[in-house]
Amino acid sequence: MAESGFTLEVATPERLLVSEQVTEAQIPGLDGYMGVEGGHAPLISELANGILSYKIGGKTEYLAIYGGFVEILPDKVRVMADGAQRKTEVEASQAKEELAKAYQAMENPPVELDPANALAEMQRAQAKVDLAEKTTN
C-alpha cells in the first residue's frame, strides 16, 4: 500500500522549478516512464527528454524535462534535469516550428550534423509540443 505522498524537487543548473509535497509522479526515464508513489524503493536513473507529470491533491501539473538524473527515495524524489520548462514557458506554435526544423534537419542532414545531437534536439522539441498540448485537470 502506497504511503500518502512524498516531496518532489525538480531543479536545473539555473533554478529550482518544483519543491512540493505530491501524491504521485510520472518521470521520463531512458527505458520508459517511471511511476512513483510514496514509499517507492530507492533508485537512481538517467532521464530522457519527455514530460514529467505530478499530482498535488487532485490536480495534475506538467513539466518538459530535457535529460539529467533522478534520485528516488521512499519519501523524496530529486530530479536534476539538464533543462526543464513549465507549460507557461512554452509557446505551442514556436514548439511546433522547432519540431518541424528538427525533422527537416534529420531528413536532409548537413555534413557536420551529429546524428545523436540531432535526435536529442528532435526529442526536446517533441517534449515542448507535448507539453504545450497538455491540459491541466
For residue 47, the Cα-to-chain-centroid distance in whole angstroms is 8
Q: Are both 58 and 103 inside the same structural domain?
A: no
What CATH number is associated with residue 30?
Answer: 2.60.15.10
Q: How many domains in the chain?
A: 2
Site of grid cell 539529467: 68
Average pLDDT over residues 22-28: 96
| Residue 1 pLDDT | 41
**Is the per-residue pLDDT at 2 higher than 50?**
no
Mean pLDDT of the chain: 89
- Structural domain boundaries enclosing 73: 6-87
Q: Are both 29 and 58 inside the same structural domain?
A: yes
Q: Is residue 128 part of a domain?
A: yes
Q: At what angle do helices 115-133 and 92-107 cross, to 10 degrees?
A: 150
Q: Are both 56 and 98 inside the same structural domain?
A: no
Q: Are both 55 and 78 inside the same structural domain?
A: yes
51-74 confidence digits (pLDDT tens): 999 999 889 999 999 999 999 999
Q: Are both 82 and 102 inside the same structural domain?
A: no
**Is the per-residue pLDDT at 22 higher than 80?**
yes
96-130 confidence digits (pLDDT tens): 898 888 888 878 777 777 878 888 888 888 898 99
Kindly report the three-state secondary structure assignment for every residue of 100-120. Answer: HHHHHHHHCCCCCCCHHHHHH
| % of the chain surpassing 90 pLDDT | 59
Q: Are both 78 and 95 inside the same structural domain?
A: no
Q: Is residue 96 part of a domain?
A: yes
